[in-house]
Structure 1
Amino acid sequence: MSSQNKTDGAADGAGHEVIAARMRALMVRSPLAVAFVLGNRIELASEQFNHLFGHGDETDLSGEPVRALHVSDGAHSGLVDKSAAAFLAGRPLDEEVEYVRRDGSRFWGRLQATPVHWDQPGGEAMWIVEDVTAARQMRMQPTWTAKHDALTELANRREFERRLSDHVGSRRHEPVSVLWVDVDKFSEVIASMGSEVADHFLYGLGQMLITKVRASDLVARLDDDHFAVLLPDCDQHYAQIVAEKMRASIASFRLRWGLHRTRVKACVGVVQLQPTLETVDAVLGAGALACAEGKAAGGDSVRVFVSAGGFEELAG
């Protein structure tokens, strides 16, 4: 072997060692419960993954059968079938699964699984599992389901209108504003990518919108691809700033769902509560009309409802 080949081989070996060291550090220090699964066997499990399933320093799930995590043979085989179908369709598997710990106790985990190589859907997969037992129990409560949208987990229309009604006609002097958010051409996303991908997009979009507002604000999904935001103690000027941040964030938001990629834009209508808007429907109608003006002008814009006596005059 030539000296050059020896040098190249040594460099390759050093590179592989660096990659292996990084992987070991990641699997020990990552806050995520991550495992790599091949067929019915766990090839490698992170420290958090082991802890989640009741294992510690003395025991490790690496090398164990995947069946050991599931409550029954039927649950295990059902998950295998679902993951195979999802991977073949170019989609990750995102499923809430009932798991069993080493001591026999059970918990609900959100499993997000993807192939390591999408061109080998039957090969090794990466699993990320999050304990959602408490969140699931909360979602099962009648009080939660009455107030929240099942798809996005945001407030639903009924809860938004109830909260908004506390401010409509109020004699308090602090300003209150509402944003109406309408995704542009969302029907094209559904037509081209399917309803399942579109649902994941709406969920991700809703979670992103929450990060753009204060804890005291309320983000809701009203229906389909329509969202609304209640901004207490917020005048029209500040509401415009929030609306523009949301518009820009939506325009830069990317959905990556397996092999599927998409992006959209949106219009945002802004309305500050005023005496002429005497009902909840009037406020929402003003926001929707302002938003419609933006869509008619080409989309991807913010429009402000400014009329003191009707919906006809818009600016933005």
Structure 2
Amino acid sequence: MSPAASAAAAPADFTAARLRALLTRAPAAIAFVAGQRFEVVSDEFNHLFGFGDDSDLAGQGTRVIHTTEPAHAGLHERAAAAFAAGRPLDEEIEYVKRDGHRFWGRLQATPVHWDAPAGEALWLVEDVTAARAQRLQPTWTARHDTVTELANRREFERRLSEHVGSRRSEPVSVLWLDVDRFADAVNGLGTSVGDHFLYGLGQMLTAKVRASDLVARLEDDHFALLLPDCDQHYAQIIAEKLRAAVAGYRLHWGLHRARVKASLGVVQIQPSLASVDAVLGGAALACTEAKAAGGDSVRVFVPAGGYEELAG
């Protein structure tokens, strides 16, 4: 091999070595699929489907992990339609392991190259059997929003009612978050894309607060946060952090991109706000003032009926 050819081959070999290391060590079930056949799979992907050292899914047809031929064919039809529309495929599918055991997996599939959507695809699969069973429970569906999987308004109000009128001494605050011009940002992208963006925003908000805080989707693009043991001062700091986080967040779904900002209202529970409606009303009014100021800002509810500006 000539020196020039060796130099050209070296980066390719190094890239292949990186890929092999990633697929061996990454704690994720990853596979590359082409022509309804597994080309390369990670160790975790093999283990998820009951394959191991003495066997490998690489080189086998994707039919082997599906329960029936119609289920297999339907998946590839849906994936092709999604890829052609510039969207990944993200859905829950019943799979079968090598020993015949069935489980539910969340498949996230996307083309390796969007300019060749019918070519090789990247699959990520996560076992969601337990989470799916939980979501199917009546108690879960009664308390959660089906799009974002956050608490719904009914559950948020129930949890808030435990603090309104309480004689406990620790402060409790509530944030109302309204995405600025969300409808304009997702106009023409379709309901599934808008729902994915809302889900992503909800997950991002949850990651920015404490485990003891409650994040809920009230309706449409309106979210609320219940912050126990948090006074107005720290609630303002959290609200500003969330405002900046939303402003820096990139809504990304296949070829679809969008950026949004948010307005937030802050209120600390106090004796003058003697009901759940009064607390939520104060937070919503402060948020309305933030939107009226141009959005991408935070306002704090003041009992006298005024507003304190924090950002924007």
State TM-score, norm by structure 1: 0.96
Matched position secondary structure for 2:2: helix
CA shift at 1:31, angstroms? 0.8
Q: List, as ranges, runs of 4+ consecutive aligned residues in structure 1 with deviation greater than 6 Å.
A: none
Match of 2:166 in 1: 170
Q: Verify: 1:153 aligned to 2:175, yes or no.
A: no
Q: Structure 1 residue 207: deviation in Å?
A: 0.6
The 5-angstrom pairing of residues 43-58 of structure 1 reads 43-58=39-54
Report how many aligned residue pairs link the two structures: 309
Match of 1:108 in 2: 104
Match of 1:18 in 2: 14
Q: 1:33-52 alignment to 2 at 5 Å? A: 33-52=29-48
2:65 corresponds in structure 1 to 69
Cα separation, 1, equivalents of 2:89 and 2:202: 20
- Which one of 289, 292, 300 corresponds to residue 293 of structure 1? 289
| Structure-1 separation of matches of 2:167 and 2:123 | 54
User: Which residue of 2 is the match for residue 244 of structure 1?
Assistant: 240
Residue 299 of structure 1 aligns to which amino acid in structure 2? G
Return 5+ residue gaps in structure 1 as ranges: none
Residue aligned with 2:145, SS: coil
Instruction: In structure 2, give the amino acid aligned to 1:307.
Output: P
1:57 maps to amino acid: D
Three-state SS of the structure 2 residue aligned to 1:193 is: coil
Match 1:9 to one of 5, 8, 16: 5
Q: Is the 8 A contact 2:186 2:258 kept in 1?
A: no
Name the aligned partner's letter for residue 63 of structure 2. Answer: R
- Unaligned stretches of 5+ in structure 2? none
TM-fit CA distance, 1:275: 1.1
1:13 shift after superposition: 1.0
- Paired with 1:11 and 1:164, the residues of 2 have a C-alpha distance of 65
Structure 1 Cα separation of the partners of residues 69 and 85 of structure 2: 25
Deviation at 1:226, TM superposition (A): 0.4
Q: 2:272 touches 2:303 (CA, 8 Å); kept in 1?
A: no
2:200 to 200, 204, 214: 204
Structure 1 counterpart SS, 2:147: coil
Specify the code of the residue in structure 2 equivalent to 1:141: Q
Alignment of 1:165-244 (within 5 A): 165-244=161-240
Give CA deviations for 1:40-97 in whole Å, capped at 9, x if unaligned.
Answer: 1111111000000000111000010101110001111110110000000000000100
Report how far residue 212 of structure 1 moved. Answer: 1.3
Identity over aligned pairs, percent: 68
Equivalent residue for 1:123?
Answer: 119
